[in-house]
Amino acid sequence: MNKQAELPVAGMDCADCAARIERALRRVAGVESAYVSLGSGRATVVFDPSRASEAHLAQAVEALGYRVPGSRASLQAHQGAAPRLFGIASGLFVVAVAGVVLIGLAAERLGLIEAASRLVPAPVALAAVLVGGLPIFRKVFLAVRARSVTPHALMTLGIAGALIIGEYGAAAVIVFFMRFADFLDAYTAGRARKAIQELVALQPLEARVIRDGIEIDVPAAAVGAGEIVLVKPGERIPVDGTIISGRASINQAPITGEAMPVERAEGQAVLAATISLDGALRIRAEHVGADSTFGRIVRLVEEAEARKSGAQRLADRVTAYYIPVVTGVAAAAWLIGGSASAGVAVLVVSCSCGIALATPVAVVAAVGSAARRGILVKGGTALEALARAEILLLDKTGTLTVGRPQVTSVHPVGGRTAAEVLAVAAIAERYSEHPAAAAVMAAVPSTISAPSWSEESFLPSGGNEDAARIEVAPGRGVIVHEHGRQVVVGSQRLFAERDLPLPERLTDEAAALEAAGQTVLFVAEDGRTAGIIAVADAPRPEVPEALRALRAMGLERIMMLTGDNARAARAIADALGVECRAEMLPEDKIAVVRAFQAEGRVVAMVGDGINDAPALAQANVGIAMGATGTAAALEAADVAIMRDDWRLVPEAVRISREAFGVIRQNLYGTVAYNLTGIVLAAVGLLPPVLAAAAQVIPDFLILLNSGRLLRSGGRR
């Protein structure tokens, strides 16, 4: 059986680092899959424990020059303050040497001195190159030994070329800008992962539990299922669980992003990382740590970075050909053009990590920031599909509507009363999980007064429910056989299939109710129609505004798919101004998605994440509404809206479009900049020193451009 391991990785400063580590881990015998998250600084590996171990995985990472904190080799190599002091001292030395060279070159251009190269003796410049460049040279050597070529290899060749032609000062300046570029890459990656780090920081580290009658503080991850957790006013709730005593206003913003607190009392569920604002609670723990809703969200956000979009895969392909092409151009400039300096400059100016950095910085920023607002996007692929969506398909019950329908009227026939029709319907509906069944069950106690109402009036003799036989007709209704009785509750279509009588007056009333947007349940007992029950589920109040925003974004078609009858569905669809297909089974919804995809359209599907899981999975991007605490919703959808607020749907589309606008600008801008720099260097207009300064600029521009996402989480 395969095992999954998570390894912390230190020393990554750009997307190319993560890609190299991924390739090295996948080459380890027994590894089935591996992905590395630059944002969280972690590698997740699935492997066969009979063929590999975590020690083997750590060795593969450290062979590239990175560290796995906690491994023996990492601890031996990085114990004590000496390595840190050496790094600081070497950095200051390189800055001093490069500063003197740059000032001297500027003074020479101004005519203040004649030979800037004499300001720094060759041995001093060479020492700066060796001391400052040693960490990079080591990584390049280890990468080459592991059959991987990095952009730093170009810079290393450029430094070697500068030394060969005697430009020692220029080589020192190149090392300075190389280290500065690495710092900038690390800073950019750190800004990108900030959103994830802030999210992780919301998880409580400790919990107060009752053990052997005593209150004690324990690590939150050590709380066991079923234990009683105490939460005081102002504290974060450390577990998913159920309140067994107490009442409080709960701030759910860390999970759902909603600003207003919600009231929670005994018997209601609460989630880890939410805050009890004004009440003390006793909570029975159900899910803790990584198994809690918050833990799953953090894991999915971290994993999202590794799910590459088409833009990232394009960048990877470009990078694969980039280094050989650049090397060829540099060789041509040197050998054919006759300028060794031009060849060195080509290698130096092309050594930007910008192409590899262009996509993941924006993806991590957008995913992390969206998660803080209650929108969980599972990586670059989902972002891209959402940004390109042309067709939007919508479930009705629980998605467009509040999902809590109520009985609005009862129409009996055959001499029965409304109370009797509800009592008969309840025999079958107590076995159904459909929202309309819940409405019927909620209506029965308020309509039938004691003592004529009791549950025994429609339970089998002695309360033995095992005697009942239930038939579920998907999308049509339910049939219950119980001690010789048969009760049917469902649609007119089900009654037609079962050849049950339908009085004309009843069908006319049903048609009028359905035309008004209500769902009609036909009720029969022992082959005789008892009446109909009308149930209504109103659209969510924010849906019209959200749909207007989506239309303004240019979505070509918005269509509601529902299992309800055509008349009831049409009333809702007309009120919202959307297309409608009704009386659909789950497989019918999948067929609609596939039909649009066959036309080359990009399809987004919005559903509740459970009943619509097949259609959500088939769509190019599935969006689950109200996925708080629902493991199935988090796993089924590509995008999970963590609270029941439709305004977050157009917000998710807008964030994705803005993110991919930033990615395109980053990617195309970096390519254009690098090509311009290579041409200028090849023709001799960009000397090696200026080329070293120029190669830092794309990374800086990516940081500035992506800053819109990093600062605002996608808000304009």
What gap in Å lies between CA 202 and CA 208, rounded to an integer? 17
What gap in Å lies between CA 116 and CA 103, rounded to an integer? 8
Q: Which of 535, 536, 527, 523 has the alpha carbon at shortest distance from 420?
A: 523
Q: Describe the crossing of helices 354-372 and 380-387 by its angle, rounded to 10 degrees.
A: 80
Query: ω into residue 435 within 30 of 0, thus cis?
Result: no
DSSP 85: H
Chain centroid, CA 21 distance in Å: 22
Q: Which of 16, 395, 644, 645 is catalytic?
A: 395
- Write the single-letter amino acid at 116: A
The DSSP code sequence of 518-570 is -EEEEEEETTEEEEEEEEE-PBPTTHHHHHHHHHHTT-SEEEEE-SS-HHHHH
Token readout for 580 is: 């409608």
Q: Which of 21, 2, 18 has the alpha carbon at shortest distance from 62?
A: 21
Residues in CB range of 436: below 8 A, 6 or more apart: 405, 429, 519, 521, 535
Please tell me whether residue 672 adopts helix, strand or coil conformation: helix
What gap in Å lies between CA 344 and CA 162, rounded to an integer? 6
395 is catalytic: yes
Residue 483 CB-density burial (10 A; 0-12 exposed, 13-18 middle, 19+ buried): exposed
Please state whether 30 falls in left (phi above 0), alpha (psi between -120 and 50) or beta.
left
125, 171 in Cβ contact below 8 A?
yes
What gap in Å lies between CA 361 and CA 366, rounded to an integer? 9
Residues classed as catalytic: 395
